[in-house]
A = this chain, B = another copy of it.
Amino acid sequence: MEDKIIVKTKYFKLNKPIKLECQKELSDIEVAYETYGELNEAGDNAILILHALTADAHAAHYHSKDDKKPGWWDTMIGDNKAFDTKKYFVICSNILGGCKGTTGPSSINPNTGKPYALDFPVITIEDMIKVQKELIDFLGVKKMIVVGGSMGGMQALEWSISHPDLVKSTIIIACAPRLSAQGIAFNAVARNAIISDKNFNNGNYYEGEHPERGLSIARMVGHITYLCEEAMHNKFGRDFKDKPSFDFGVDFQVESYLEYQGRIFVDRFDANSYLYITKAVDYYDPTKKYGSLENAFKNTNSRFLIISFSSDWLFSTEQAKTMVNALVKDNKEVSFVELKSACGHDAFLIEWEKQTKIIESFLKG
């Protein structure tokens, strides 16, 4: 086995406040980010990786030799991988509103010396991009490729629309240009579970018990939407963990899985961040903002690759195709692939081999 490549998360502090979509200003923003590979002199070999709901800046390699797991998309980023660090300067930053090093509701509010909690302004996908833009400028990037899955895809989409001068290629994976009513409904349930937790305390829980039960229920809901019926059936079926308990503990394997996912999530994620980020996803809607998706894409200068997965019901192929159709109407260069997979929405994190082939060919083209 080859030596582990060790990387460090770096931090960038914005030197100006950002005016947010909600019309509030946010200052003292810090951004956690990682880079892999080297930026060329022209500053045009960058790839910006945009992460999904609960991921972070640590997209590839390891933080230490003892790390058991590499970054969340290590299968895709590295020497000779889909995003080849021998050729490209790959950047990934934690989103605004997150809890992995970039300013969010758990950060200290400089005005009070305490965590923002719900005094943190409600942020949008557009706000995330504004913050990333400062980082990109700081790094000296002149032209770049943007790539993201799920909510990361929404960010990639928004980058292509709002910065046609900067974005030369856009890869949108397992994504829709806006969340469906059903998706909003799931997010509403998740937020309700957090807000109803006895420890939520209107978001001011940082000094006491965190709303762990609520957050774990939110995560359970999420995982149902990340898998699909087929994946659940294949993974768990109706198998009992042990035998019928005839009580209200965990009976079935699928319950055990969800409970485990909920339990490990609360150790790594902040409940307030979950509220803010799901709200940003709910709000995102370039169709509404520009009147139509065709209008939204009109000024883009990017090539597009759009990938969907056959069993993804959170961001379906049908939804992905609305982007393809709009791009075709706009005479933009667009490639579209629906990959067969039984992994549901999670496929964008799992099916790296299939994606690698498609992406390599797109980046060469």
Taking a contact as CB atoms under 8 Å apart, the answer to whether A188 and B258 are in contact is yes
Known: A189-B221, A254-B184. A285 touches B197 (CB 8 A): no
Chain B residues whose CB sits within 8 angstroms of the CB of A197 once the complex forms: 196, 198
**Nearest chain B residue, comparing its CB with the CB of A234:** B181
Pick from B181, B189, B191, B229: contact of A236, CB below 8 A. B181
**Which residues of A170-184 have CB atoms within 8 Å of chain B's CB atoms?**
178-182, 184
Chain B residues whose CB sits within 8 angstroms of the CB of A180 once the complex forms: 229, 232-233, 238
Taking a contact as CB atoms under 8 Å apart, the answer to whether A220 and B181 are in contact is no
Give Cα A282–Cα B214 distance, bound, in whole angstroms. Answer: 23
Taking a contact as CB atoms under 8 Å apart, the answer to whether A254 and B188 are in contact is yes
- A364 at the B interface (CB under 8 A): no
Instruction: Please state the number of chain copies in the assembly.
Output: 2
Taking a contact as CB atoms under 8 Å apart, the answer to whether B232 and A188 are in contact is no
Chain A residues bordering chain B, tally (CB within 8 A): 56
Q: Could you say which of A75-83, A142-150, A243-251, A352-360 contacts chain B?
A: A243-251
A328-344 vs B, CB cutoff 8 Å, 1 = contact: the mask equals 00000000000000000
Taking a contact as CB atoms under 8 Å apart, the answer to whether A182 and B246 are in contact is no
Known: A196-B217, A217-B193, A232-B180. A185 touches B224 (CB 8 A): yes
Give chain B nearest CB distance to A283 CB in angstroms. Answer: 6
**Which residues of A265-302 have CB atoms within 8 Å of chain B's CB atoms?**
275, 279, 282-283, 285, 288
Q: 6 closest A-B pairs (Cβ-Cβ)?
A: A198-B198, A181-B232, A196-B213, A122-B246, A22-B246, A188-B255
